[in-house]
């Protein structure tokens, strides 16, 4: 059986005041949402999308993942009728894994991206729904020009903008050693494909890879919030499973059926070229310079501490010399009082990009003694 493990890193960037990106990962799910519109609205929309995805348990099929993203769209759209939140929306890129078939489904709306690293090949699996992507496709600007285009932040699809949304879905039969990278546009606008490929390949540890990608985006300017989820697949190959395929949900009502509406994802191949020593030196200086400050931006997770639920900053089980740091205890939530489903959710140790999302998670754990 193939197993998926992950890591998250997120940073507000060098220019903005608020981080409107949200992200999470668990045993069968990883997701990045990049909120937009208003100060409160963007954060709210992104957090709502991630919360909706957190409702998924266990093996994730394509149908389930698309359904949940569509449900998130409706919820955000309805919440945006509040005048204070009008115009809020969010991108989403999510990966849902079915360990028994070994198939991972990538879905996206907007310009947050999903990449697949397999061996030496890094491919962008998702296709951006953005103005500059349309311009690149029409041959009016180059990919390089797109990264610094003044309208690079304009998306042509987002969650929360209309009552319905088209969700693109890409199914990949994973092989042990595969790595998926999910990222907000704060990464792709600051780090070119070649550097991105090199950094993802150079760091075997998922947390290290997520951290150096965020650091590279800050080094490249950090003009936007930047968020990265790295998902690694290891273990034995799973039995059976569909061939790689891509299905746009707009293709047909049967688009989620593996036998219908099959089309190849458009992919960009990044050749791995020889390294320039100077570039490496610059990166090494950058990496050492940022040092431990990234650690503060790593995820948050909940875990039993003595008899109660507690929230920690860091990575479950620790990372290198970093141990998870206690943020707060929730004495009102005793582990022995949790119902079975909540215990299972806690044991899965989902990791959140913000402490607020971890708190929402903890607040939603059901105590059998609640109300007594
Ligand atoms: Mg962004």
pLDDT digits (tens, 9 = 90+) for 79-134: 999 988 988 999 999 999 999 999 999 999 999 999 999 999 999 999 999 999 99
Quote the ligand 1 centre to 285 CA distance (angstroms).
Answer: 26
Residue 156 Cα to ligand 1 midpoint, Å, equals: 14
- Summary mean pLDDT of the chain: 85
Write the pLDDT tens digit of every residue in 145-177. 998 898 888 899 999 999 999 999 999 999 999
Element (H, E) at 123: strand 121-124
Among residues of the chain, what percentage have pLDDT more than 90? 62
Q: Please write the tens of the pLDDT for every residue from 232-248.
A: 999 888 765 444 444 44
Ligand 1 mean position, distance from CA 154 (Å)? 10
- Here the tokens at position 304 are 């039993």
So what's the pLDDT on residue 101?
Answer: 94
Q: Determine the Cα angle at 113 with ends 13 and 97, to 5°.
A: 120
Of 7, 27, 31, which Cα lies nearest the Cα of 230? Answer: 7
Average pLDDT over residues 279-289: 54
Quote the ligand 1 centre to 36 CA distance (angstroms): 8
Q: Determine the distance separating the centroid of ligand 1 and the alpha carbon of 184, expressed in angstroms.
A: 6
CA distances in angstroms from 19 to 7, 12, 258, listed in the order given: 18, 5, 37
Output the six-digit token pair for 142: 């180059």
In the reported structure, the alpha carbon of residue 372 is separated from the centroid of ligand 1 by a whole-number distance in angstroms of 44
Which of 82-91, 150-159, 202-211, 266-275 bottoms out in mean pLDDT, i.e. has the lowest? 266-275
Per-residue confidence at 340, pLDDT binned at 50, 70, 90?
Answer: confident
Residue 122 is predicted with a pLDDT of 95
Q: How far is the CA of 155 from the centre of ligand 1 (A)?
A: 10
- Say yes or no to pLDDT of 286 above 70: no
Distance 33 CA to ligand 1 centre (A): 9
Q: Rounded to the nearest whole angstrom, what is the distance from the C-alpha of residue 153 to the centroid of ligand 1? A: 7
- The pLDDT assigned to 292 comes to 44
Query: Is residue 50 pLDDT above 80, yes or no?
Result: yes
Place of tokens 């191949």: 269
More confident residue, 348 or 118: 118
pTM of the full structure: 0.77
Q: How far apart are CA 247 and CA 204, in angstroms?
A: 31
Q: Name the pLDDT band for 34 (thresholds 50, 70, 90).
A: very high
Residue corresponding to tokens 């932040």:
153
């Amino acid at each position: 059986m193939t197993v998926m493990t992950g890591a998250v890193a997120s940073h507000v960037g060098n220019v903005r005041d608020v981080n409107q990106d949200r992200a999470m990962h668990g045993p069968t799910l990883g997701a990045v949402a990049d909120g937009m519109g208003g100060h409160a609205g963007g954060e709210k929309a992104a957090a709502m999308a991630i919360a909706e995805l957190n409702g998924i348990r266990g093996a994730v099929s394509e149908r389930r993942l698309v359904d949940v993203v569509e449900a998130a769209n409706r919820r955000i759209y309805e919440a945006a009728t509040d005048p204070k939140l009008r115009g809020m929306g969010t991108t989403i890129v999510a990966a849902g894994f079915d360990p028994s078939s070994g198939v991972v489904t990538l879905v996206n709306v907007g310009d947050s991206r999903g990449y697949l690293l397999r061996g030496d090949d890094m491919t962008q699996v998702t296709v951006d729904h953005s103005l500059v992507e349309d311009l690149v496709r029409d041959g009016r600007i180059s990919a390089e020009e797109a990264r610094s285009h003044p309208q690079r932040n304009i998306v042509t699809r987002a969650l929360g903008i209309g009552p319905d949304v088209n969700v693109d879905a890409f199914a990949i039969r994973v092989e042990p050693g595969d790595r998926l990278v999910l990222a907000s546009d704060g990464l792709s606008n600051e780090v070119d494909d070649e550097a991105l490929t090199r950094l993802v390949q150079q760091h075997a540890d998922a947390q290290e890879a997520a951290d150096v990608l965020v650091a590279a985006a800050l080094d490249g300017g950090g003009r936007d919030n930047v968020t990265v989820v790295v998902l690694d697949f290891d273990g034995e190959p799973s039995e059976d499973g569909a061939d790689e395929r891509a299905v746009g949900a707009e293709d047909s009502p049967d688009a989620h059926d593996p036998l219908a509406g099959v089309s190849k994802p458009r992919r960009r191949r990044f050749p791995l070229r020889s390294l320039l020593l100077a570039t490496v030196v610059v990166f090494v200086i950058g990496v050492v310079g940022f040092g431990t400050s990234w650690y503060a931006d790593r995820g948050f997770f909940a875990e039993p501490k003595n008899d109660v639920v507690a929230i920690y900053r860091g990575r479950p089980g620790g990372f290198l010399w970093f141990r998870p740091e206690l943020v707060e205890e929730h004495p009102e939530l005793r582990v022995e009082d949790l119902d079975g489903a909540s215990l299972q959710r806690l044991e899965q140790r989902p990791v959140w990009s913000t402490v607020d999302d971890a708190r929402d998670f903890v607040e939603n754990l059901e105590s059998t003694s609640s109300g007594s």
